[in-house]
Amino acid sequence: MGRSGTSLVAAALGELGVELGPRETMVEARPVHNLHGYWEQAAILALDDALLAERGASWSNPPAEDPGWERRPELAPLYEQARDLLKTLFGDTSLWGFKDSRASFTFPFWQQLAPSLKAVICIRNPLEVAASFGRFEPEVTPAEGWLGLWLRTTAASLVATAGCNRLVIDYREWGTDAEATLARLAEFVKLPVSGTTNDENRELFDPQLRHHRIGLDELLADHAVPADVQALYAALTLAPTNLDTATLLARRLVEERNIANAARTSAAALAEHWEAESARHQAAAEAATEELRRVTEWFTALEASASWRLTSPLRALKRRVSRP
């Protein structure tokens, strides 16, 4: 999930020696939002956006879980584009990587191109994430709120990377022991940490840039935070090196959300059907009422006419003759 130290982790990996592609093709830094840069390749973001659009989604309105979506034949042009893009950005480099929070939902696509992909999953207290997005992205309002988006993005990243070599980095770790955190990253990518790398890392992590500090106990005590958000973050925080429990929980949450979405879709379709039926019956009733009004007006006009009055005796005689 964005605002979770993803840029810091990407920068640290770059300093360790992971090839992140040319700096000139990366998304430009924004002084207020991300002072040291995003470390994102603009073309990869655009391709991930296209992948999400193919599924009727976006980064702030992510797709429902759809196993096997990455094998759809209509994605063939995007695969060709991605192959060319990886070749252009990284050439024959053996150790390369990219950073994009959208990859939480597009990871299976990239895995088709590079089966040995590793994943670094960045986490942060969901309340801090929500506060940070509220400050830096006030114009964006996900339908389910920032906490809901945190849950969907984090759960999706765990489900998508199940079975892969992966590492969880909690944003808090940079503040408690940045050197140990860098060492974990270095071990993960099998690269050494030099004194220069440590110096660069200290410059990248600026405590003044962390504007929100909320503890796990505060998250768990906040009754406004959904229980599934609390549970998933607690599982990741309390056992970051054992992701099985967190992944099982994430998979259950994803499945439950899919069931809920399907139920909502079914209910919406049923409501639409009955609304259409109601409108049809209403139209028929209005048409019948109009016809009755028209006939009544016609009969009233007939009774008031001179011919009706002149033939009244004949109608009375006819009624007497017809009686038994």
Higher local confidence (pLDDT), 119 or 272: 119
The answer as to whether 259 is a domain residue is: no
Using a pLDDT cut of 90, give the percent of the chain over it: 56
The answer as to whether 263 is a domain residue is: no
Q: Is the pLDDT of residue 216 over 70?
A: yes
Sign of CA dihedral 214, 218, 223, 226: positive
The SS3 call for residue 77 is helix
Decide: 231 and 249 in contact? Cβ < 8 Å: yes
The answer as to whether 287 is a domain residue is: no
Q: Is the pLDDT of residue 248 over 60?
A: yes
Mean pLDDT, the chain, integer: 84
The answer as to whether 101 is a domain residue is: yes
Q: CA–CA separation, 158 vs 250, rounded Å?
A: 7
Domain with 128 in it: what CATH number?
3.40.50
Determine the length of the chain: 324
Mean pLDDT of 187-205: 75
Write the pLDDT tens digit of every residue in 263-284: 544 455 546 655 766 677 677 7
The answer as to whether 169 is a domain residue is: yes
- Worst-scoring range by mean pLDDT, 171-175, 204-208, 289-293, 301-305? 204-208
Tally the domains of the chain.
Answer: 1
Higher local confidence (pLDDT), 199 or 214: 214
Split at pLDDT 50, 70, 90, the class of 31 is: low
Q: Is the pLDDT of residue 212 over 90?
A: no
Q: What is the per-residue pLDDT for 29?
A: 82
pTM: 0.76
Q: What is the per-residue pLDDT for 282?
A: 77
Q: CA–CA separation, 18 vs 306, rounded Å?
A: 103
Decide: 207 and 175 in contact? Cβ < 8 Å: yes
The answer as to whether 212 is a domain residue is: yes
Which residue's entry shows tokens 């094998």? 71
Which residue's entry shows tokens 């069931």? 259
Decide: 236 and 170 in contact? Cβ < 8 Å: yes
Using a pLDDT cut of 70, give the percent of the chain over it: 77
Range of the domain at 162: 6-241
Element (H, E) at 280: helix 243-303
Number of C-beta neighbours around residue 140 at 10 A: 12
The answer as to whether 103 is a domain residue is: yes
Write the pLDDT tens digit of every residue in 123-182: 999 999 999 998 888 888 888 899 999 999 999 999 999 999 999 999 999 888 889 999
Q: What is the per-residue pLDDT for 270?
A: 46
The answer as to whether 267 is a domain residue is: no
Q: What is the dihedral of CA 39, 44, 48, 49, to 10 degrees?
A: 80
Mean pLDDT of 103-112: 97
Write the pLDDT tens digit of every residue in 47-98: 999 999 999 999 999 998 888 999 999 999 999 999 999 999 999 999 999 9
